[in-house]
Amino acid sequence: MPSFLKEFFKRNGTGMGSLMLGLVLFWTIGLIILPQLSMLDFSFRPNLPPPEIGGPKDVYTLENYKYLIYGPEGGSQDYNAVDLKVFFRTLVAAVCVTVFNLILCYPIAYYLAQTKGNHIRIFALMLIIPYWINEILRAFALRIIFGETGVLNNMLVGLGIFDTPFDFIRNDIALYAGLGYAYILLMIFPIYNVIESLDRNQIEAARDMGASWTKIHRRVVIPYAKPGISSGCTMVFMLSAGALAAPQILGGPSSLWFTQLIYQQFNDNSDWPQGAAYAVVLLVTCILLVLAVMRLFKVNMGDIGK
Amino acid sequence: MSAGVGVNLENLWIRFGDFVAVRDANVNINGGDFFSFLGPSGCGKTTILRAVSGFLEPSDGKVLIGGNDMKGIGPNKRPTALIFQNLALFPLMKIWENITFSMEIKGASAKERRKRADELLDMIALPGQGDKLPSELSGGQRQRVAIARALCAEPDVLLLDEPLSALDLKLRQHMRTELREIQQRVGITFIYITHDQGEALTMSDNIAVMKAGVIDQIGDGKTIYNDPSTAFAASFVGENNVFRGKVKRIMGEEALIQTNRSGELVARISSANQGRMKEGDAAMMFIRPEAFALAPAGASGDHFVTAKVNHEEFEGNVFNIFMEGDGGKELKVSIPNLGQSFEDHTGQNITLEYETKNAVIVPAGELAAE
Ligand SMILES: Nc1ncnc2c1ncn2[C@@H]1O[C@H](COP(=O)(O)OP(=O)(O)OP(=O)(O)O)[C@@H](O)[C@H]1O
Ligand SMILES: [Mg+2]
């Protein structure tokens, strides 16, 4: 038995330890890994009516993956331009949401972490309370703000800034705002956590040596906050790319999110293998992207947990 | 040495809300001086240093550096460099980057910086260690890196906030000499903060003794040690024996004190209090352990003290005798060990004598906590 397990059992007792270990294993293996594996399995099988499952036609195939790239066999186009476009647009948009979120949240996190006093708690509470409201309601609330006859348009037209209402929804502004807003906390808290442990004297030392505020952030605070920034960005990116409710409610009619395609495959087309293949592609691409970016910025996997 | 840039505090007050951290401080620090603020923990030393470096605006009064009022000038614009109590090296930068951070700010090339870093590393006796991270150095080495980093900025005034407090005793004593040497070599003004009187005495040209936000006394080490102006300074700097009493008669520079325990004793009134004490004033007389000598039994007079010996100890260079003293505090006497035979006096009454010039009188006041 590895020593950390021994330690674990010694601390919790054999009974309690086994129970906790069992639950955690059930959670990771039973509820996460196995279903994912079965999804993976689905993605390599043809979509067959139930009687044919397990029959001679039920063989492993790359058809579902090919479909994403080349479209239906004998289709009019060389590539599945529609779906691929949605796929890349989703990734780019998720990156944009992440970057936008980082730019917005870093100063907030820095401010929260470096100032002391009660007002900070009130500030944090005000950030948290909106999350008591469920995602769907929040998304519809943003629709009310950004809609054609929404609050924002009424104001802008009323003030004479625009002649005609601006279509925030068709231009995806509502969607980006909604996604950005949905994950603000996931960005703020990891960054806040790291910066809070940054010795204030280091900032003062840099300042004492003549550094400007930008320089202090670039050379002292950001390198230190890198683990927090990467966990925040990873979470926001993964969740934005995988979001469904916000794109459904706030997305323009012509702009689909890739998750919506996946949903359509599962739900509308009842084509689970195709949906699974799309989902796997999205997942793997996102992971590879995150790993590549981590590599680029020299972040270790171990830092993410900090 | 008066080439350096001086620092003046004029009627400096610093308040945090209702709390007064520094009360009406007036200090003139000569250019090129090694100047120490000495005081117990929490007396406002760091606060003063932060006001000089610009991280704190005075609530009242002025900070002048090189004769210029520093009001409204930020810490990044002042000719000072601060060495923090915890050093505050940048943990993610290599040593050479740490040292030359101030040059990086000014846009110096990496090559230039590397060269300067190597020079400074030689100076602090850490050649070839530039590529390490701070966490890979020992406490004393980190200490020296912090000094090099501050010196690299070529400040006119170097501010040091108890930089040796994290080191062990041996290293601390070694660094004292080293710091003093560095200061003499670079010739700039050092303002040094410490609660360790040994550090202050060995390194400083001048010392300000602080107590709870108030500057008690300013002077060179000898003056502070031999001629304290307050009871606090007398009891905080070095070991001292206190005799409480009342002034019975003023006799020129000396006075006769009616002590609570040891009869009438004569001592010198400390310089700062000359002409200020009068008969009937509550007074305290201080005599250092080393200022006593054993007197023949039965001798008596106004410079003899007789008391019962509680216990004795042999410290190598001195014999220490602990006797019943004033106010429940033991009276300590140190007799130099010159190879003479030394009998055990425990339980006996013995008589000591002192020279009146070695005993000093100040007005009664608060003593430093042990
Ligand atoms: N920002 C602040 N707000 C309120 N009180 C403060 C602040 N900074 C310092 N103080 C108070 O001012 C007093 C002096 O603090 P300071 O840090 O100057 O002490 P110090 O002499 O440097 O002590 P030490 O030797 O322990 O470092 C302390 O009582 C402290 O509690
Ligand atoms: Mg301090």
Which tens digit of pLDDT belongs to each residue from B102-127?
999 999 999 999 999 999 999 888 89
Query: Which one of A205, A211, A220 has the shortest CB-CB distance to B84?
Result: A205
pLDDT digits (tens, 9 = 90+) for B300-334: 888 899 999 999 999 889 999 999 988 778 899 99
d(CA A54, CA B222): 99
Whether B19 contacts B212, CB under 8 Å: no
Q: In Å, how far is B99's CA from the nearest CA of chain A?
A: 11
The ligand minimizing its distance to the Cα of B43 is 1
Beta bridge partners of B62: B10
% of chain A with per-residue pLDDT over 90: 40
Atom 23 of ligand 1, nearest CA residue:
B42
Question: Closest chain B residue to A204 measured between Cα atoms?
Answer: B55
d(CA B87, CA A201): 8
Beta bridge partners of B159: B82, B191
Is A213's Cβ below 8 Å from some Cβ in B? no
Task: Report the range of poorest mean pLDDT among A66-70, A239-243, B92-96, B257-261.
Answer: A66-70
Residues less than 5 Å from ion ligand 2, measured at CB: B 46
Ligand 1 atom closest to the CA of B49, numbered from 1: 18
A255 has a pLDDT exceeding 70? yes
Question: Closest chain A residue to B100 measured between Cα atoms?
Answer: A209
* Domain B239-363 bears CATH identifier 2.40.110.10: no
Query: Which one of A199, A209, A224 has the shortest CB-CB distance to B105?
Result: A209
pLDDT of residue B192: 95
Question: Closest chain A residue to B104 measured between Cα atoms?
Answer: A211
Instruction: For residue B129, give both structure tokens.
Output: 């260690």
List of domains in chain A? 73-304 (1.10.3720.10)
Per-residue pLDDT band for B131 (boundaries 50, 70, 90) equals very high
Q: In Å, how far is A157's CA from the nearest CA of chain B?
A: 45
Query: Which one of A199, A207, A208 has the shortest CB-CB distance to B86?
Result: A199
What residue spans of chain A are helical by DSSP H? 3-12, 14-25, 34-43, 63-70, 81-114, 118-128, 135-146, 151-158, 173-182, 184-196, 200-208, 213-216, 222-241, 245-250, 258-263, 272-296, 301-304
Is A222's Cβ below 8 Å from some Cβ in B? no
**Three-state DSSP class for B189?**
strand
Per-residue pLDDT band for A173 (boundaries 50, 70, 90) equals confident
pLDDT of residue B21: 95
Is A199's Cβ below 8 Å from some Cβ in B? yes
Question: Closest chain A residue to B158 measured between Cα atoms?
Answer: A208
Pocket around ligand 1 at a 6 A CB cut-off = B 16, 19, 21, 39, 41-47, 195
Is A204's Cβ below 8 Å from some Cβ in B? yes
Per-residue pLDDT band for A14 (boundaries 50, 70, 90) equals confident
List of chain A residues whose C-beta atoms are within 8 Å of the C-beta of residue B88: 199, 201-202, 204-205
Per 3-state DSSP, chain B is made up of helix, strand and coil in percentages (nearest 5) of 30, 35, 40
pLDDT of residue A280: 93
pLDDT of residue A119: 81
% of chain B with per-residue pLDDT over 90: 74
Query: Which one of A206, A208, A223 has the shortest CB-CB distance to B53?
Result: A208
% of chain B with per-residue pLDDT over 70: 99
Is A219's Cβ below 8 Å from some Cβ in B? yes
**Three-state DSSP class for B282?**
strand
Which residue, A167, A138, A177, A157, is CA-closest to A252? Answer: A167
Task: Please give the average per-residue pLDDT across B36-48, as a whole number.
Answer: 94
Atom 26 of ligand 1, nearest CA residue:
B41
Which residue, A248, A124, A224, A117, is CA-closest to A184? Answer: A124
A298: left (phi over 0), alpha (psi -120 to 50) or beta: left
pLDDT of residue B172: 85
d(CA B8, CA B63): 6
pLDDT of residue B230: 95
B160 has a pLDDT exceeding 90? yes
d(CA A156, CA B206): 68
Whether B291 contacts B358, CB under 8 Å: yes
Provide the CB-side half-sphere exposure for B257 (13 A, CA): 33
pLDDT of residue A305: 58
A253 has a pLDDT exceeding 80? no
A74: left (phi over 0), alpha (psi -120 to 50) or beta: left
Per-residue pLDDT band for B1 (boundaries 50, 70, 90) equals very low
Optimal mutation site among B73, B84, B145, interface A, most CBs of chain A within 10 A: B84
> Mean pLDDT, chain A, as a whole number?
88
Mutate to test the pocket of ligand 1, among B22, B45, B199 (most ligand atoms within 8 A of CB): B45
Optimal mutation site among B101, B157, B160, B162, interface A, most CBs of chain A within 10 A: B101
**Three-state DSSP class for B41?**
coil
Which residue, B250, B256, B208, B253, is CA-closest to B233? Answer: B208
Provide the CB-side half-sphere exposure for A44 (13 A, CA): 8
Task: Please give the average per-residue pLDDT across A177-201, as a whole number.
Answer: 91
Instruction: For residue B86, give both structure tokens.
Output: 């915890």
CA of B45 to the centre of ligand 1 (A): 8
A1 has a pLDDT exceeding 80? no
Task: Report the range of poorest mean pLDDT among A64-73, A180-189, A289-298, B41-50.
Answer: A64-73
pLDDT of residue A124: 83
Write the burial class of residue A145 (CB in 10 Å: 0-12 exposed, 13-18 middle, 19+ buried): middle
DSSP, residue by residue, A203-247: HHHHHHTT--HHHHIIIIIHHHHHHHHHHHHHHHHHHHHT--HHH
Whether B142 contacts A246, CB under 8 Å: no
> Is the model more confident about B2 or about B189?
B189
Domain extents for chain B? 7-226, 239-363
d(CA A73, CA A100): 40
> Mean pLDDT, chain B, as a whole number?
92
State the first-to-last Cα distance of chain A, in angstroms, to the nearest integer: 27
Q: In Å, how far is B166's CA from the nearest CA of chain A?
A: 16
CA of B55 to the centre of ligand 1 (A): 13
Instruction: For residue B140, give both structure tokens.
Output: 């004393």
d(CA B357, CA B131): 57
User: Across the interface, do B76 and A210 touch by the CB < 8 Å criterion?
Assistant: yes
d(CA B314, CA B323): 15
- Which CATH fold topology does B7-226 show? Rossmann fold (3.40.50)
B34 has a pLDDT exceeding 80? yes
Optimal mutation site among B76, B83, B89, interface A, most CBs of chain A within 10 A: B76
What residue spans of chain B are helical by DSSP H? 45-53, 95-99, 101-105, 110-123, 139-152, 169-186, 197-203, 221-226, 231-236
Q: In Å, how far is A223's CA from the nearest CA of chain B?
A: 7
d(CA B267, CA B253): 9
CA of A196 to the centre of ligand 1 (A): 21
B2 has a pLDDT exceeding 60? no
Per-residue pLDDT band for B299 (boundaries 50, 70, 90) equals confident
pLDDT of residue A304: 66
Whether A105 contacts A191, CB under 8 Å: yes
d(CA B52, CA B368): 26
pLDDT of residue A97: 93
Task: Please give the average per-residue pLDDT across A38-51, as a whole number.
Answer: 86
Query: Which one of A209, A212, A223 has the shortest CB-CB distance to B81?
Result: A209
